[in-house]
């Protein structure tokens, strides 16, 4: 049985912006050694709220600054070694993008259309949440 959203072990963000051409874009990240795309995600540090942790992960893993839109859109679970972890997922409107960031040495970020991002997230545990929010992304940014 999935754990409650408030008991999440980790947080993640779906970073979105409106490009210069007016098209909504989603930022995905991956380890440079991997072909699998994902979204910024990480553990909640002691003393941090879910929102603070989500913004921190966006900065550390993708070099993005922004604001969260509302509450978490849901959660997913995955296995990491012997652990079963629950991840609360937020949508973040990107307000700034850094040229360098803490994990730039081993992660890359790339902007995709809403449709392309959905295709690249196929098989990822966040995909059902992404599909649920996808029709509304244009009204968020």
With CA atoms as reference, report the closest residue to 63 among 27, 38, 117, 33. 27
Cα angle 98, 103, 104 (rounded to 5 degrees) comes to 55
Give the DSSP letter of residue 87. Answer: E
- Six token digits for residue 44: 């909640």
- Tens-digit pLDDT profile for residues 55-81: 999 999 999 999 999 999 999 999 989
Predicted local distance difference test score (pLDDT) of residue 2:
47
**In angstroms, what CA-CA distances link 140 with 63, 70, 95?**
21, 10, 13
Note the pTM of the prediction, 2 decimals.
0.93
Band (pLDDT 50/70/90 cuts) for residue 141 is confident
Q: What domains appear along the chain, each with residue ranges and CATH number?
A: 5-140 (3.90.79.10)
């Amino acid at each position: 049985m999935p754990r409650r959203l408030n008991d999440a072990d980790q947080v993640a963000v779906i970073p979105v912006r409106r490009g210069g051409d007016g098209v909504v874009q989603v930022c995905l990240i991956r380890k440079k050694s991997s072909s699998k795309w994902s979204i910024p995600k990480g553990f909640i540090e002691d003393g941090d709220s879910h929102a603070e942790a989500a913004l921190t992960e966006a900065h550390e893993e993708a070099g993005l600054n922004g604001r969260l839109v509302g509450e978490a859109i849901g959660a997913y679970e995955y296995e990491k070694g012997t652990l079963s972890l629950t991840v609360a997922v937020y949508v973040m409107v990107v307000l700034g993008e850094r040229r360098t960031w803490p994990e730039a040495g081993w992660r890359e970020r790339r902007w995709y259309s809403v449709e392309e991002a959905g295709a690249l997230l196929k098989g990822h545990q966040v995909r059902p949440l992404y599909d649920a929010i996808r029709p509304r992304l244009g009204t968020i940014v």
